[in-house]
C-alpha cells in the first residue's frame, strides 16, 4: 500500500520496541477522537430503536412503517456510500469525515419536526445519505496509519466505541425517555435525537482542526518515526496490483464474496440493534430505564469479545476462522432468543451470546478486505463491501417488522437470522479463495 506523500526509503529496520512505541503514539493521537465520532455514529443508528415506543405512540406508526423508515436510512446510506468514499480519497479524510459529521448531525436533529410517515421516511433517507461513507472512510483512514499486523486490535478498538455506545447509550436513552419527557415542552424522543445530533456538529469541527491526512503531516512524529511507520505499512501491504482501483477491486477473486459475508453479518447486526429493546419489552419488562439497562448486556459481551478476539487474531494471523466462530456464536444466540422469548432472564443470556458474536464479528471481519485492496481500490472497495453489507440493514428491519405484523411474534424472524449466520460461518470456512484463507503476518510482540 502506498502512503501519500511518504516513501519507504531504506533506514535501519526498527526494533519491535521502537515500533510499538510509534504505534502507541499514533493510536493515542488518532484513535480517541475517531472513537468518539464512531460512538455517535453508532448511537445515531440505534437511537431510533429506543425512540420507537414513544414515536409510534405519538405518530401512530405500524411496525411495518417503523421498519420501512429504519430501512430507508440504509437505502440513503447505500446509494451514496461509494461516491462518498471516492470523494474522501480525492479531497482527504479530514475534510470529508468532518463534512459527514456536520451534515448528519444537523439532519438527525431535524427529526424533532417529523409529524407523519412521509416526513419520517424522507428524513431517515436524508440522514443515511449524509452519513454515507463515514464507517468505510474511517476504516480506509486507519489503513494509512497502521500496518496489517496491528489492524485486528486497532479495528477492535474502533468498534469498541460502537459497543460502548450501546453500553452507555442504551441506559442513557432509557433515562432520557423516562425523565426528560416534557422538559421544556419537548417530548423524550425529540430529546433523544437532539442529544444524538447536535454534538456531531461540534465533533465535525474538531476533526477538521485536529486530524491529519498523511503521515508526513504529523508534526507529533519525528522524521525517523515517520519513515519507520511508512515503511512497515508498505512492507505489509498486499503486493498484487489487482485491488489498486475500484474496478480492479471488483474483479479481484473473493471481493464479492466478502460483500455477501458482510451482508449476512449486517442482517444479524440490525436484527440485534433495532429489535433488542422490543424483545425485552415483549418478554414482560415495560419500564424504559430498565429496558435501556438490559439492552446494554449484549454490547458489554460484544465489547469483551472484540477486545479478546482482536488480540488473538493479531497474534495468530488467523482472521476468517475467528469471524466464523463468532458468527456461530451469534447463531446460537438468535436461536436461543427465539426459544426463550417469554422468559426475561434466559432471553437476556441469549442476547448476551448474540451480542458477543454479532458485535465482535464486525471488527474481526474488517481485517479481511485489506488483504486484497490498495490505494483507490481500498477506498472505493471498502465502501462497496460496506454498501453490499448495508443492504442487510434494509432486509432485516423490514423482515422482522413484517413478521411481527403478520404473526404477532418475532420468533420466526430470529430463527431465520440465526440460519443466515450459520450460512455466513460456512462461507468463511469453505467458500473464500486462497488469498483470504492465508494467515496474516502475526504480530511478534504478541506471539513472543
DSSP per residue over 39-74, as a string?
HHHHHHHHHHHHHHHHHHHHH---HHHHHHHHHHHH
Q: Which helix (H) or strand (E) holds 306?
A: helix 297-316
CATH topology of domain 20-440: Growth Hormone; Chain: A; (1.20.1250)
Kindly report the number of other CB atoms within 10 A of residue 89's CB atom. Answer: 20
pTM summary value: 0.69
Q: Where does residue 3 fall: left (phi above 0), alpha (psi -120 to 50 degrees), or beta otherwise?
A: beta
Kindly report the number of other CB atoms within 10 A of residue 155's CB atom. Answer: 26
Cα-to-chain-centroid distance, residue 66: 22
Question: Contact, 50 vs 174, CB < 8 A?
Answer: yes
C-alpha distances in angstroms, 114 versus 122, 275, 363, 389, 434?
9, 22, 34, 28, 50
SS3 content of the chain, % helix, strand, coil (to 5): 80, 0, 20
pLDDT tens digit at each of 448 positions of the chain: 444 444 444 445 556 677 788 888 888 888 889 888 888 887 777 677 777 777 777 777 777 777 777 778 878 887 888 888 778 878 888 889 999 999 989 998 888 888 787 888 888 899 888 988 888 888 888 888 888 777 777 877 777 776 676 667 666 777 777 777 667 777 777 888 888 888 899 999 999 888 888 888 778 888 888 888 888 777 766 555 444 566 777 777 888 899 999 999 999 988 887 778 878 888 888 777 788 778 888 888 988 888 888 778 777 777 888 999 999 999 999 999 989 888 888 999 999 999 999 988 988 898 888 777 666 666 677 778 888 887 887 777 777 777 777 877 778 888 989 999 999 999 999 988 877 777 666 655 554 4
Q: Which three cell numbers stand for residue 376?
A: 483507490
For residue 370, which of 153, 139, 212 has the smallest C-alpha distance?
Answer: 139
Cα separation, 98 vs 83, in Å, equals 16
Q: Where are the domains of the chain?
A: 20-440
Rg of the chain's alpha carbons, rounded to an integer? 21
Amino acid at each position: 500500500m502506498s502512503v501519500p506523500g511518504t516513501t519507504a526509503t531504506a533506514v535501519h529496520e526498527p526494533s519491535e520496541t521502537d515500533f510499538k512505541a510509534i504505534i502507541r503514539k499514533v493510536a493515542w493521537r488518532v484513535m480517541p477522537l475517531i472513537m468518539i465520532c464512531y460512538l455517535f455514529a453508532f448511537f445515531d443508528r440505534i437511537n431510533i430503536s429506543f425512540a420507537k415506543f414513544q414515536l409510534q405512540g405519538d405518530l401512530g406508526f405500524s411496525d411495518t412503517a417503523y421498519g420501512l423508515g429504519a430501512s430507508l436510512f440504509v437505502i440513503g446510506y447505500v446509494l451514496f456510500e461509494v461516491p462518498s468514499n471516492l470523494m474522501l480519497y480525492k479531497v482527504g479524510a479530514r475534510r470529508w469525515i468532518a463534512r459527514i459529521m456536520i451534515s448528519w448531525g444537523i439532519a438527525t436533529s431535524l427529526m424533532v419536526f417529523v409529524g407523519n410517515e412521509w416526513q419520517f421516511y424522507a428524513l431517515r433517507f436524508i440522514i443515511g445519505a449524509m452519513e454515507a461513507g463515514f464507517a468505510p472512510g474511517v476504516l480506509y483512514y486507519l489503513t494509512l496509519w497502521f500496518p496489517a499486523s496491528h489492524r485486528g486490535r486497532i479495528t477492535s478498538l474502533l468498534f469498541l466505541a460502537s459497543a460502548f455506545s450501546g453500553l452507555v447509550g442504551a441506559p442513557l436513552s432509557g433515562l432520557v425517555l423516562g425523565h426528560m419527557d416534557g422538559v421544556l415542552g419537548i417530548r423524550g424522543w425529540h430529546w433523544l435525537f437532539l442529544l444524538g445530533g447536535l454534538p456531531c456538529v461540534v465533533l465535525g469541527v474538531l476533526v477538521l482542526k485536529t486530524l491529519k491526512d498523511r503521515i508526513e503531516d504529523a508534526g507529533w512524529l519525528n522524521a525517523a518515526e515517520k519513515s519507520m511507520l511508512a515503511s512497515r505499512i508498505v512492507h505489509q501491504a498486499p503486493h498484487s496490483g489487482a485491488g489498486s482501483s475500484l474496478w480492479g477491486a471488483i474483479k479481484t477473486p473473493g471481493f464479492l464474496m466478502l460483500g455477501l459475508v458482510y451482508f449476512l453479518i449486517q442482517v444479524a447486526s440490525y436484527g440485534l440493534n433495532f429489535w433488542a429493546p422490543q424483545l425485552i419489552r415483549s418478554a414482560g419488562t415495560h419500564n424504559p430505564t430498565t429496558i435501556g439497562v438490559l439492552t446494554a448486556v449484549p454490547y458489554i459481551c460484544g465489547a469483551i469479545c472484540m477486545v479478546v478476539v482482536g488480540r488473538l487474531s493479531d497474534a495468530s494471523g488467523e482472521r476468517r476462522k475467528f469471524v466464523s466462530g463468532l458468527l456461530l456464536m451469534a447463531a446460537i444466540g438468535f436461536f436461543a432468543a427465539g426459544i426463550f422469548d417469554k422468559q426475561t432472564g434466559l432471553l437476556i443470556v441469549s442476547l448476551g451470546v448474540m451480542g458477543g458474536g454479532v458485535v465482535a464479528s464486525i471488527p474481526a471481519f474488517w481485517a479481511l478486505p485489506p488483504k486484497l485492496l490498495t490505494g483507490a481500490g481500498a477506498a472505493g472497495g471498502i465502501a462497496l463491501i460496506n454498501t453490499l453489507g448495508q443492504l442487510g440493514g434494509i432486509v432485516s428491519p423490514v423482515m422482522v417488522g413484517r413478521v411481527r405484523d403478520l404473526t404477532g411474534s418475532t420468533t420466526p424472524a430470529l430463527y431465520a437470522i440465526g440460519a443466515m449466520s450459520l450460512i455466513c460461518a460456512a462461507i468463511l470456512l469453505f467458500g473464500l479463495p486462497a488469498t483470504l484463507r492465508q494467515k496474516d503476518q502475526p504480530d511478534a510482540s504478541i506471539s513472543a
